[in-house]
Amino acid sequence: MDFPHHQKLISLLAAMVSIDDFNKDIIVQNFEPVSYPKRTLLVKEHSIARYMYFINSGYLRTYYFKDGLEVTDQINCPLGFMTAFGSYTSGNPSHEYLECITDCHLLRIRKEKLESLFRHNPQWAKADRIINEHIVLYNARRTQDLVSKTAEERYLQLLKCHPDYIHNVPLQYIASFIGVKPESLSRIRKNVASLAI
Amino acid sequence: MDFPHHQKLISLLAAMVSIDDFNKDIIVQNFEPVSYPKRTLLVKEHSIARYMYFINSGYLRTYYFKDGLEVTDQINCPLGFMTAFGSYTSGNPSHEYLECITDCHLLRIRKEKLESLFRHNPQWAKADRIINEHIVLYNARRTQDLVSKTAEERYLQLLKCHPDYIHNVPLQYIASFIGVKPESLSRIRKNVASLAI
DNA sequence: TTGATTTCCTAACATAGGTCAAGCGCACGC
DNA sequence: GCGTGCGCTTGACCTATGTTAGGAAATCAA
């Protein structure tokens, strides 16, 4: 039996915990395939993030405004889970936007449904803890990098982990994500290119 | 009935989920009171963090070495949970040290025990999720601050949230934690003092 | 107390990254 | 097709932070 929209999610979860057919049904029944064009805002400032999204294809980001300027806070790509985490987790109105950078094919599930899965099914509870641990470790590493690496080191590391971002994510978002201005990223890229020759 | 060493932890958890007498016993039976003098290393590089600590009194930090220099990565204070999170979560050898900054009175519990509580008791599972969410939100905020605030803003914010750090945590650790060199923190402090006059 | 060590501050200089202003090139709508 | 705007780059200059060196002040051991 084939579930084209859900296959990637099933494979990902199967790699974390053993997923039997019963649970495949749960995934297909609860995760709704949705598609959005580039630039769509899935969460707006002051609204509440009610869905968790799984990325089948496309690129998403969250951003907020600081002194009238956009700050890109998270960037995510296929096989990742994405939402406006601050609002989703707390249930409070979001101070950031969740936006499709490119056209996106996603699966979405309402927070209450997902939490109910986590609460009532031990396999899902295990997956929840694994996903949360990944998030914690990822954020810890990002913090360490911001504290102790130069902007150039952070750019090169992003390139290494996500070479696809270069062709799919505008440089100004990447600049903001690694914590520098677009002009500085330009200079860094120029410098990196000259070193590579 | 009084459990002097465990009272703070019981109160904290009671604020998250309802704790009945059965669970108080679980806390008393599973969390072991321990005390260490200043400078004690609870986790060393290359060893594995097997315990989660709850801080009854005292200050702890984690640090690692980058280019031969200490980088203070986390600082924590009473009523917080602390460990070398990277190693504890992954089970891999730690790349950082967990150190008592001051004399400390702690409660400790082995990872397997704590996870077993989380797995087998719905109230503990709820507490686990709440604690994890706090960690995620805290780290997200720290990342945002590192990206979009100046060192002075980060220092003032730390002062506001943790005025007690000034008297209990050496400035060099605070400097490292907010991502600047000690000399820069000195300048910032001088500047802040002159503004306050 | 005294000497030794660590912590903190200061100052002069160096550099990464920010700011401002301008220009290029490409995509998109008219 | 042709502006027009947006994304990206560049250059000149500025500022915050790093670096290096040294000295004052606090802390600790004997």
**Range with the poorest average pLDDT among B2-6, B43-47, B84-88, B98-102:** B2-6
What are the extents of the domains in chain B?
7-120
Given a cut of 50, the residues of chain A with pLDDT beneath it are none
Residues 148-167 of chain A with CB under 7 A from strand C are 150-152
Task: State CA B62 to chain mean position distance.
Answer: 8
- Our measurement of CA B57 to C1' C3, in angstroms, reads 34
Q: Tell which CATH classification among 2.60.120.10, 3.30.1330.10, 3.40.50.280, 3.20.20.70 matches the domain B7-120.
A: 2.60.120.10
Q: For residue B168, give the nearest of B71, B103, B96 by alpha carbon.
A: B103
Q: For residue A74, give the nearest of A159, A166, A132, A138 by alpha carbon.
A: A138
For residue B104, the one-letter residue type is C
Q: What is the pLDDT of residue A1?
A: 65
- Rounded to whole angstroms, the Cα distance separating A32 from A77 reads 18
User: What's the mean pLDDT when you consider all of chain B?
Assistant: 92
Asked if strand D contacts A183 at the CB level, meaning under 7 A, the answer is yes
Q: What is the pLDDT of residue A197?
A: 64
Q: What angle, 0 to 180 degrees and rounded to 10, lies between the N-to-C axes of helices A111-120 and B122-148? A: 130
Mean pLDDT, residues B162-184 taken together: 95
Long-range contacts of B116-125 (CB under 8 A, 24+ apart): B117/B26, B117/B30, B118/A129, B119/A122, B119/A125, B121/B23, B121/B26, B122/A119, B123/B17, B123/B18, B123/B19, B123/B23, B124/B17, B124/B23, B125/A119, B125/A125
* A131, closest residue in chain B (CA to CA): B132
Could A137 and B86 be called an inter-chain contact, meaning their C-beta atoms sit closer than 8 Å? yes
Give A179-191 pLDDT, tens digit per residue: 999 999 999 999 9
Q: What is the pLDDT of residue A28?
A: 94
Asked if residue B71 lies in contact with residue B65, where contact means CB atoms within 8 angstroms, the answer is: yes
| Model confidence, pTM | 0.90
- Our measurement of CA B103 to C1' C3, in angstroms, reads 27
Q: What is the dihedral of CA B43, B47, B53, B58, to 10 degrees?
A: 0
Q: How confident is the model at residue B160 (pLDDT cuts 50, 70, 90)?
A: very high
The label of the residue with tokens 């980001």 reads A61
**Would you call A31 helix, strand, or coil by DSSP?**
coil
Between B54 and A22, name the one with better pLDDT. Answer: B54
**Would you call A4 helix, strand, or coil by DSSP?**
coil
Give A36-59 pLDDT, tens digit per residue: 999 999 999 999 999 999 999 999
Give the percent of chain B with pLDDT over 90. 73
List the beta strands (DSSP E) in A30-174: 32-36, 41-43, 51-57, 60-66, 69-76, 81-82, 97-100, 104-110
Q: What is the pLDDT of residue B130?
A: 87
On strand D, nucleotides with any atom < 7 Å from a protein CB are: 7-12, 16-21
DSSP B94: P
Instruction: Quote the minimal CA–CA distance from A114 to chain B in Å.
Output: 13
Cross-chain CB nearest to A139 (options B125, B140, B148): B140
- β-partners of residue A99 are A41, A61
- β-partners of residue B36 are B104
Q: For residue B147, give the nearest of A80, A170, A70 by alpha carbon.
A: A70
- Rounded to whole angstroms, the Cα distance separating A132 from A89 reads 12
Could A136 and B135 be called an inter-chain contact, meaning their C-beta atoms sit closer than 8 Å? yes
Q: What is the pLDDT of residue B45?
A: 93
Q: What is the pLDDT of residue B125?
A: 83
Q: What is the pLDDT of residue B197?
A: 62
Q: How confident is the model at residue B17 (pLDDT cuts 50, 70, 90)?
A: confident
Q: What is the pLDDT of residue B177?
A: 96
Asked if strand C contacts B69 at the CB level, meaning under 7 A, the answer is no
Residues of A in contact with B132 (CB under 8 A): 129, 132, 136
Gyration radius (Cα) of chain B, Å: 18
Could B137 and A73 be called an inter-chain contact, meaning their C-beta atoms sit closer than 8 Å? no
Cross-chain CB nearest to A137 (options B90, B140, B142): B90
Residue spans of alpha helices (H) in chain B: 7-16, 21-30, 85-90, 111-120, 122-148, 151-161, 165-168, 171-178, 182-196
Asked if strand D contacts B183 at the CB level, meaning under 7 A, the answer is yes
- Our measurement of CA B166 to C1' C9, in angstroms, reads 16
Q: What is the pLDDT of residue B1?
A: 65
On strand C, nucleotides with any atom < 7 Å from a protein CB are: 7-12, 16-21
Could A179 and B146 be called an inter-chain contact, meaning their C-beta atoms sit closer than 8 Å? yes
Asked if strand C contacts B172 at the CB level, meaning under 7 A, the answer is yes
Q: How confident is the model at residue B137 (pLDDT cuts 50, 70, 90)?
A: confident
